[in-house]
Amino acid sequence: MEILNLGKQSAKKVTTYDSSKKPNGWLMELFKDKETGQKTEAYLTAALPGAFKGYHLHRIRAARYVAVKGKMKITCYKFRNQSWQPTEFVLSADDPQRLFIPKNVATGLENIGTEEAWLINYPDPAYDPSLKDEQVEYTKEELEQGIIK
């Protein structure tokens, strides 16, 4: 078998920030779709020790998380019976498990370990930057008040 197009490609890495504009980690695109090279099929999100990322929901895509470093608490809010109902999960690199989060579930990530925590996400469908308003940001207070955006 002949190897074609052997070589390196850039992998986009961006710093992420909490609601008070303080850095809370970073995000790196791991794999782009073969068809257009625009959609992200896999990415890694990193959170600093004690950092929180979220809350947000996706209107079109589901998330599929796997912890590959550290320990992360994932809080998911699903709208049921006229209110947002929370459920918590812990993913740890020491006990590998996958977590599926369907679309329209508000999600927050909190690093509950002492080292930087890494989650790989394989979104379904792949993240498409051309879709506007696909990701919706929430505060915990908005979720507790039952606000829908």
Tell me if 149 is assigned to some domain: no
Residue 3 maps to a domain: no
Domain assignment of residue 135, given as a range? 16-144
pLDDT tens for 33-83 read 888 878 889 999 999 999 999 999 999 999 999 999 999 999 999 999 999
Could you tell me if residue 96 is inside a domain?
yes
Whether 4 is in a domain gets the answer no
Partners of 23 in the beta sheet?
A: 17
Residue 120 to residue 128: CA distance in whole angstroms: 17
* 8 domain residue, yes or no: no
When divided into structural domains, the chain yields a total of: 1
pTM exceeding 0.85: yes
Question: Could you tell me the CATH number of the domain that includes residue 36?
Answer: 2.60.120.10
Residue at 113 is within a domain? yes
